[in-house]
Amino acid sequence: MKEFLMIALGVLIFVVIFQIAKASEYVSVLKGEEKTRKQNNKINAFFLLGFLIFGLIGAWYCNELYYGKTLFPQGSASVEGEKIDLMLWITIGVTGVVFIITQVLLFWFPFRYQQDDNRKAFYFPHNTKLELVWTTVPAIFLTVLVVFGLKYWFKMTNDAPGNSIVVEVTGHQFGWEFRYPGADKVLGRKNYKLTTGANSLGVDFDDPASHDDIHVSGTMHLPVGVPVKMVINSQDVIHDVGLSQFRLKMDAVPGIPTTQWFTPKITTADMKVKTGNPDYTYEISCDQMCGKGHFSMRGVIIVETMAEYKKWLAEQKSEYFTVHPEKAPAATDSSIKVAAVLQGNK
Amino acid sequence: MSSVATLHGADVHGAHDTHHEHHHHETFITKYVFSQDHKMIAKQFLVTGMIWAIIGGLFSVIFRLQLGYPDSTFPWLEDFLGHWAKGGKLQPEFYYALVTMHGTILVFFVLTAGLSGTFANFLIPLQVGARDMASPFLNMLSYWFFFIASVIMFSSLFVQTGPASGGWTIYPPLSALGDASSGSKIGMDLWLVSMAMFIVSALLGGLNYITTILNMRTKGMSMTRLPLTVWALFFTAVLGVLSFPVLLSGAILLLFDRNLGTSFYLSDIVIAGKILPNEGGSAILFQHLFWFLGHPEVYIILLPAMGMSSEILSVNSRKPIFGYMAMVGSLFAIAILAFLVWAHHMFVTGLNPFLGSFFVLLTLLIAVPSAIKVFNWLTTLWRGNIRFTPGMLFAIGFVSLFISGGLTGIFLGNSALDLHLHDTYFVVAHFHIVMGVASFFGMFAGVYHWFPKMFGRYLNNTMAYIHFWVTIIGAYLIFWPMHYEGLAGMPRRYYEFSNWESFKMFGGLNEFISLVAMIVFAVQLLFVFNFFYSMFKGRKVTTTNPWGSNTLEWTTPINPGHGNWVGEIPEVHRGAYDYAKDGHEFIPQNVPVGADETSH
């Protein structure tokens, strides 16, 4: 019923507009088409000026409403992201000035130079000096932006620092898997043809390096203040590890592993205090369309102190023993043993 | 060309009715269906494009319903869509199908075929002074290949597993594997076959446009006297002819991967519990092939809008376009750079960072010719004597949107910032403003400006003004706040956000955007109504040159027949922009240069 009323209302508005439009055409014939045209010209000139003024006010109002919801107020959660925020501010500054100047002129000129029978248009076909000025000035500003941009780009895409923790991130329809290399700091080999229900990542357990690797789903734990290098892959279609709070993302491509590193700066607990939001969570969003569950492909990152992180890691059971329980030492002390090995190596 | 030959012998003073007698007999079929008259083919492109625009726009309204009201159900949706809207709630599979088809339809079928197909066909022969295209027959085929592509794409909407749903960019493996998505079953094959037909159409059209512009200009019409519309359409055609074949090859390889067991794009995949045998392919290869067309495609869409806006701004300011040569030069620069920036869509694919840095540099370089164009448009307005015809308003709106959307490109082209903003709503806002809405504004400007030439009648002004003001205000209300969603990291192509701690706070804004989108869509229907109403009942054009324009199309009869000019084609003596010169309001291109005239 509601839909029906809305359609009826729409049709009614339509008919009214049509009748007014037709009537205005007849009126213009009676009044003289030239006179009507000039009147319309004046009205539209005022509208253009009004659009400029209300548009600028609107842009300011929009900023009032939504600035607080962007990621700027909470700041970057990674050390590298601070540079991105700085770059954003510089770019907003430069483009903002250009935006205001050009839009003001674009709407002011039509108002100022609207048709007037007492004035003639000014014959001004070209001026080389002017054109050189507005070729050179944008080129200089863009050079500055490119230089800054590339400096940070190379920094962020460079090799991860030597003290980085390595975590393998694997995307699949529709979830995230994480593999930690364990005490030997080496991830075991993988071969996708070995994938089974139990060995869901296709780890090659003939490689001894795989025996202490730890596999967790959905939630990644990271210590604060230490760089982490993600080795990213996908099992099926292209996904993307989107870490908006850390200001970066990287695709997960089947068959072609990618890497990305960053240094978490603030623990989840501290961020809850900082934002005043007890539910604050670092989330991994899939940012590359991957099928019907794309919007639900959520992962969580918990950034914690080194002590908390080590404690958590120690509690995890290695995947080798989960997949081959018969090889595990007495079930009760397996985790203790792994934990002891881990502690010894740190 | 025998029909054209007879036209030369026609009585110079005869009205266009007389020349029909000289013309061979035309049936309904040859005049309206399999027409070889460039003007009729243009109208066919335009009307087909408008039908597609309504379908594509309607799709966006339906998926905006889901984004704006994720907790509501709409029982009437189930009546239309059946199991795709079970219980009145749009299903995620179909949401993605709608998003995909919205993009495909608007980028290719509306803003490529509907925009440059219409105006390249209509304006090139009329403005260069030719009786028709170089090959009217190929031109006809160009439309009918587009029509076949349209039929195939439309039919894909009705297959049981749904139309393609992997995004308009159809990245494999998602688009290659039926197990990855129901839209990647038969719907995807239809998509690829339809696009192959579409590409044939674009190539036939493009070759014709280039040949016509290079070879069929009338006496005196040197390249530097061409109106900017023709220059823009020329570069558009060159871009299309050089880049569409690459997409065709990419699409054919994808068809092979889908149906013949090849591994061009596939490697190391486990899907639906099955271990696929494909090894050694590269999913990224497809992205290179796709964006090698995909980026020039943006300019294929944008350049005609730039050209038409330049023309309309100059005519209605009653002033020459400022810096004609710089305008041509910047179009040329944009066309060249368009081929060298494609990988800026791929900064987060694991692209070699060193290679990426070149694409950053070249991408931001495009801002220079773009800035030249904007400043030249502004200077054209400066000290003019400006008339606000509906076409003029849309041309001003085009410049405004081009500035707004162009500037955000400086954010996204800088790879370090793209690491953060890629695939967020910031991107959605950026490309909708600069490529989507701006090009639509160029198209509307063109329709309002050349409608009198197309149909011998005017569009209704009142409806036109309502159309303009609601559309420009609506476009900014829809897309401006999306930048904030993007700066909050909100990813695009999400069916809903309620489970996300980081993105769920924009519910109210999304509802507002959806509401405005519906109003803007309704106003486009008003335009469509105005179009068809005015075609038959609009105010009649009583003079051959209603806008006081210099270009050649306004030297033809009010309703030109096939062959355009009765008698000789006019000779050209000057450039297209002699407005306000030597005290004359305007001097058409076919007026000889006077002895006392100043030269510039």
Nearest one of B247, B52, B244, B60 to B150, comparing CA atoms: B52
Rounded to a whole number of angstroms, the CA Rg of chain A reads 31
pLDDT digits (tens, 9 = 90+) for B259-307: 999 999 999 999 988 999 999 999 999 999 999 999 999 999 999 999 9
Residue B91: closest C-alpha in chain A: A292
Inter-chain CB proximity A256 and B497 less than 8 Å: no
Q: Contacts of residue B495 in chain A, CB cutoff 8 Å?
A: 294-295
Angstrom distance (rounded) from CA A291 to CA B289: 22
Nearest to A106 among B378, B503, B585 (CB): B378
Inter-chain CB proximity B173 and A237 less than 8 Å: yes
Mutate to test the interface with B, among A6, A31, A67, A126 (most CBs of B within 10 A): A126
Nearest to A255 among B281, B376, B377 (CB): B281
Say if residues A237 and B179 touch (Cβ distance below 8 Å). no
Give me the pLDDT at residue A30, please.
87
Angstrom distance (rounded) from CA B300 to CA B203: 13
Say if residues B213 and B128 touch (Cβ distance below 8 Å). yes
**Per residue, what are the HEC states of B333-362?**
HHHHHHCCCHHHHCCCCCCCHHHHHHHHHH
Q: Does the pTM of the predicted model rise above 0.90? A: yes
Q: What's the DSSP call for residue B600?
A: -
| B579, pLDDT greater than 60 | yes
Give me the pLDDT at residue B445, please.
97
H/E element, A44? helix A33-66
A213: closest CA of chain B, how far (Å): 21
Find out whether the peptide bond into A174 is cis, omega within 30 degrees of 0: yes
**Does 3.40.50.11540 match the CATH number of domain A165-345?**
no
Give me the pLDDT at residue B18, please.
42
Domains in chain B: boundaries: 2-583
Q: Contacts of residue A280 in chain B, CB cutoff 8 Å?
A: 501
Say if residues A170 and A176 touch (Cβ distance below 8 Å). yes
In this structure, which CATH number among 3.40.50.620, 3.30.420.40, 1.20.210.10, 3.40.50.10330 belongs to the domain B2-583? 1.20.210.10
B91: closest CA of chain A, how far (Å): 9
Non-local (6+) Cβ contacts of B104 within 8 A are B153, B164, B168, B191
- How confident is the model over B375-401, as a mean pLDDT? 96
Say if residues B96 and B174 touch (Cβ distance below 8 Å). no
Inter-chain CB proximity B488 and A69 less than 8 Å: yes
ipTM here: 0.93
Angstrom distance (rounded) from CA B486 to CA A71: 10
Which residues are paired to A175 by β-bridges?
A172
Mutate to test the interface with A, among B324, B385, B401, B599 (most CBs of A within 10 A): B385
Angstrom distance (rounded) from CA A242 to CA B174: 18
B21 band by pLDDT with thresholds 50, 70 and 90: very low
Q: Contacts of residue A147 in chain B, CB cutoff 8 Å?
A: none
Q: Contacts of residue B423 in chain A, CB cutoff 8 Å?
A: 240, 242, 249, 287-288
B527: closest CA of chain A, how far (Å): 11
Nearest to A69 among B493, B500, B505 (CB): B505
Say if residues B40 and B490 touch (Cβ distance below 8 Å). no
A212: closest CA of chain B, how far (Å): 24
B23 band by pLDDT with thresholds 50, 70 and 90: low
- How confident is the model over A208-216, as a mean pLDDT? 93
- B83: number of Cβ within 10 Å: 12
Q: pLDDT averaged over chain B?
A: 92
B24 band by pLDDT with thresholds 50, 70 and 90: low
A16: closest CA of chain B, how far (Å): 11
Nearest to A142 among B367, B386, B499 (CB): B367
Give me B98's structure tokens: 């709608």
| A344, pLDDT greater than 60 | no
Find out whether the peptide bond into B70 is cis, omega within 30 degrees of 0: no
| B140, pLDDT greater than 70 | yes
pLDDT digits (tens, 9 = 90+) for A225-275: 999 999 999 999 999 999 999 999 999 999 999 999 999 999 999 999 999
Nearest one of B139, B28, B326 to B130, comparing CA atoms: B139
**Per residue, what are the HEC states of B431-463?**
HHHHHHHHHHHHHHHHHHHHHHHHHCECCCHHH
3-class DSSP state for residue A183?
coil
A25 band by pLDDT with thresholds 50, 70 and 90: confident
B484: closest CA of chain A, how far (Å): 6
Residue A290: closest C-alpha in chain B: B174
B424: closest CA of chain A, how far (Å): 8
Residue A58: closest C-alpha in chain B: B477
Say if residues B104 and B164 touch (Cβ distance below 8 Å). yes
Q: Contacts of residue A21 in chain B, CB cutoff 8 Å?
A: 460-463, 466, 530
Residue B240, Cβ density class (10 Å: 0-12 exposed, 13-18 middle, ≥19 buried):
buried
Give me the pLDDT at residue B600, please.
54
pLDDT digits (tens, 9 = 90+) for B411-435: 999 999 999 999 999 999 999 999 9
Inter-chain CB proximity A287 and B74 less than 8 Å: no
- How confident is the model over A114-131, as a mean pLDDT? 91
CB-side exposure of A73: number of CA atoms within 13 Å? 11
A280 band by pLDDT with thresholds 50, 70 and 90: very high
B178: closest CA of chain A, how far (Å): 11
B595 band by pLDDT with thresholds 50, 70 and 90: confident
Mutate to test the interface with A, among B276, B496, B502 (most CBs of A within 10 A): B502
Give me B526's structure tokens: 């008003």
Hey, which bits of B209-321 come out as E strands? Answer: 270-271, 274-275
- How confident is the model over A112-118, as a mean pLDDT? 92
Nearest to B460 among A14, A25, A124 (CB): A25
3-class DSSP state for residue B491?
strand
- A77: number of Cβ within 10 Å: 27
Angstrom distance (rounded) from CA A114 to CA B309: 18
| B197, pLDDT greater than 50 | yes
Q: Contacts of residue B499 in chain A, CB cutoff 8 Å?
A: 296, 298
Mutate to test the interface with A, among B102, B170, B268, B500 (most CBs of A within 10 A): B268
Nearest to B489 among A47, A244, A259 (CB): A244
Q: Beta strands B270-271 and A258-262: pairing type?
A: unpaired
Query: Which whole-number Å values give the CA distances from A34 to B388, B389, B422, in the listed order?
Result: 13, 13, 51
Say if residues B193 and B206 touch (Cβ distance below 8 Å). no
